[in-house]
Structure 1
């Protein structure tokens, strides 16, 4: 009974059910059209034997992590300024609400033209996909801070800088955490398109290149690799948040970080 509870707790049964459905769906199909789990595993072994799969994963992860980190470091101060200073919010919010609806993939050609086809254009594309999510969540967190807390700090002689450091930022951290976590998923979407168009390595390149050889199993390997990379980074981010930011109300779950009431 305890073993069954442990299996249910770790979500093994849904994955076994998904693999069973996948296998059953692939049985009457041509393997080149819908490869089953075993055929996909063979494709993964084939790619892993010469080290190409690991190389593609490392390249994609480096691009995603670099663009996500730089984008978050830029977006958090901007979000704080927009949330705290009304004139900055009034000037920048209309532009932000216009540009953020243009997907990162729409800028692939322009970024290649402006920044070249090397790593720089891909990282900047991921930064673009990251910045708006983090800005909006951070700004929302600042605006959600109760005015009574700010008045109380000001009445005790706190300066605006002290209010920012000791009132605004601690109350906004759960929103920042939610923003950077959501931005991680958009980073993977951005890198996939960038590597499909202009790359000689990476998981996106693997998926795009597999079509030339009609290697559907390689495509599935790439999709699963992206899913595992995203799952691993999300869990790592949740672990860091749970260990370092628990005092600010961070509660990591499989769906989202809890925001303060």
Structure 2
């Protein structure tokens, strides 16, 4: 009896595990990301309206801000200010990125260039771009050039480190394999290093874009006559909170739109990369 009972006892866990594998797995309800974004937006507006109803520091509500936005749109002020700020941000961001990518590549590919350039890059990274405004005014005047320069500096310092890390972080196995196949340094750089660094560069561009928008308001302190930052600073003098909120929301929306465009470009350019 004992010899026949033992196989039965051993076979019971096997049948149980087989039944467990055939049992359907429970999956949670998947909510689309866009729906989650709408829920978060509605919740944020609801909290905002609730705080405004409590009269916390005379906080304007969504209705008052929407009404002020309608007035600024109707007379064309918001469009002019948005275009002026967008022009400054795009110019500074484009110039900063175009210079940061080759400088980062040089630092990452050539040890001599790294030794010569890295101290300056790291030094200026510790100096806030806003601290350069007095120097920019003295050296460049009060026109458009100092405003663009401050934005350029913020975008450049954020992007150059990402490009440098992209080159340094390239898998050495890929480079060695290309050399074994007879590829020269120029071919390796263009065919291996640049594609492998693309994700780092695009992330650096997104960070640089955020830095550019974050520097905009301070840059428009330099004798600006139009722009979202200029309009917000003028509204501050008259305690015009709805206008300040309109400027903040407009900057956030423009920055979010540009960031989504960069994210779309990142997904298209890095389809080859393994997803986790």
Output the TM-score relative to the length of structure 2. 0.84
Preserved CA contact (<8 Å) 1:170 1:248: no
Mapped contact 1:173–1:248 kept (Cα < 8 A): no
Contact in 2 for aligned 1:174/1:250 (Cα 8 Å): no
**Cα offsets for 1:95-145 (capped at 9, x unmatched):** 211211111111112112211211111111111001111110011011111
1:18 and 2:76 correspond: no
Q: Residues 98 and 248 from structure 1, CA distance in 2 versus in 1: closer, same or farther, beyond 3 angstroms?
A: farther
Check 1:250–1:155 CA distance in 2 against 1; reply closer, same or farther (3 A cut). closer
Name the structure 1 match of 2:187.
162
* 1:232 aligned residue: 257
Q: Deviations over 1:188-247 (max 9, x none)?
A: 01111111342111000011000122111100111001110111111122223323x033
Partner secondary structure for residue 157 of structure 1: coil
Q: Give the aligned partner of residue 14 of structure 2.
A: none
Gaps of 5+ in 2: 1-29
* Inter-partner Cα distance in structure 1 for 2:32 and 2:202: 29
Within 5 A, what are the aligned runs for 1:100-139?
A: 100-139=125-164
Equivalent position SS for 1:18: helix
In structure 2, the partner of 1:198 is 223
Deviations 1:5-33 (A, max 9, x none): 45863511111111111111111317x83
Superposed, 1:1-261 pairs within 5 Å as 5=31, 9-29=35-55, 33-243=58-268, 245-249=269-273
Which sections of structure 1, spanning at least 5 residues, go unmatched? Answer: 252-260
Q: 1:99 to 1:6 in 2, by over 3 A?
A: closer
Q: 6-15 or 151-160: which moved more?
A: 6-15
What's the C-alpha RMSD, in Å, of the aligned pairs? 2.0
Q: Cα deviations across residues 161-203 of structure 1 (Å, max 9, x unaligned)?
A: 1111011101100000100111000000111111134211100
Report if the CA contact (8 A) 2:199-2:270 is conserved: no
Asked whether the 8 Å contact 2:147–2:222 carries over to 1, the reply is: no
Contact 2:213-2:251 within 8 A present in 1 as well: yes
Q: TM-score, normalised by structure 1?
A: 0.89
